[in-house]
Structure 1
Amino acid sequence: MNDEHAHSHEHAHGDDPTNAECADFLERIVRLIDNELEPGDCTIVRAHIDSCSPCLERYDLQRTVKTLVARSCGETAPDDLRARVRIQIQEIQVRITGA
Structure 2
Amino acid sequence: MTDCGCEKAKAELEEYLRNELCNEDAADVREHLANCDGCSSEAHLNVVLTEVVQRACKETAPETLRTEVLLRIRSFQASVH
**Which TM-score band (shorter chain)?**
0.7 to 0.9
Q: Percent identity?
A: 30
Gaps of 5+ in 1: 8-20
1:51 corresponds to which residue? 35
- TM-score by length of structure 1 reads 0.65
Corresponding residue SS for 1:76? coil
Q: How many residues matched?
A: 80
Cα gap change, 1:80 to 1:59, in 2 (>3 Å)? same
- TM-score by length of structure 2 reads 0.77
1:82 and 2:66 aligned: yes
Compute the RMSD of aligned alpha carbons. Answer: 2.1
1:28 and 2:7 aligned: no
Cα gap change, 1:91 to 1:28, in 2 (>3 Å)? farther
- Divergent runs of 4+, >4 A: none
Cα gap change, 1:91 to 1:35, in 2 (>3 Å)? farther
Gaps of 5+ in 2: none
Cα gap change, 1:31 to 1:82, in 2 (>3 Å)? same
- TM-fit CA distance, 1:88: 3.6
Q: Supply the AA of the counterpart residue of 2:48.
A: T
Matches within 5 A, 1:59-78: 59-78=43-62
